Amino acid sequence: MSTVTITAAEVNKLRQQTGAGMMDCRKALTESNGDFEAAIDYLRKKGQKVAANRSDRDAKEGVSIAKASADNTYGILVNLSSETDFVAKNAEFIAFANEIADIALASKVASIDDLKAQPMAGATVGEKLLENVAKIGEKIDIVRFEQVSAAAVVPYIHSNYRIGVLVGLNQPATDAIISAGKDVAMQIAAMNPLGVDADSVSADTIAREKAIAMEQVAAEGKTGDMAEKIAMGKLNKFFKENTLLPQAFVKDAGKTVGDYLKSVSAGLTVTTFVRAAVGA
């Protein structure tokens, strides 16, 4: 039995992150020696439905900007953080973030440090960040930078700059393909898939999900080959729900995302995507 003292604040935090009951959260933390990720796994192994997108719930403030080049073959995503929602919603702050994103897009920098070194209005981006810290009175910083190159890259900004998405597709941009890319980007913003398909999910995540499935099956009294078969069924369901192409398309639940893309253009598919939520 754990000797770690579990506080009410920790129990409440786990409850807010997962949606599980207070007593269940306390038991999960106790059994997991206060380890939050292990506690979440404990709840899932006991058959609890754990709320998705946990990281988004602890979000700090700021904005997420996604942009693509004129020919839609290259895109960037920049997250600029702030301490308060008041600053994040300020028009000047949003304009400043857009200026930084424009510089990133034009310069094709490889990292945040490279971006901060780029010239901006007689100074560097890094120096302008410090100027704005002094002006606003809050710490602001570039906390994430992503870039995507593909035959077609489609950017999308969701929910007042709270989430930015870049989608890379395998066919050159046309009006129809850009429209489809935006539909898929909306899906990514809403559903937060782990990857394009099962092949893009990390081996660690697969091992973790299989272990959880095996324990659930064992708790149901199944053993041997039957247990393995049921566990693999659960794992395949996990891929269907948590990777992009097999997911039910939000605009037409009768199709998967993969099917929708093929209906737009034969062979059309997503090669890569990035999603950045404020504070995540």
List domains and CATH numbers for the chain: 1-51 (1.10.8.10), 57-196+267-277 (3.30.479.20)
pLDDT above 90 (res 125):
yes
List pLDDT tens digits, range 63-113. Answer: 999 999 999 999 999 999 999 999 999 999 999 999 999 999 999 999 999
pLDDT above 70 (res 160):
yes
Closest CA to 30 of 42, 48, 12, 15: 42
Name the phi and psi angles at 194, rounded to 5.
-75, -25
Which residue is it, tokens 């037409």?
A: 252
Classify residue 150 by its DSSP letter: S
* pTM tops 0.95, yes or no: no
Please tell me the predicted confidence (pLDDT) of residue 49.
67
| Local confidence band at 51 (pLDDT 50, 70, 90 cut-offs) | low
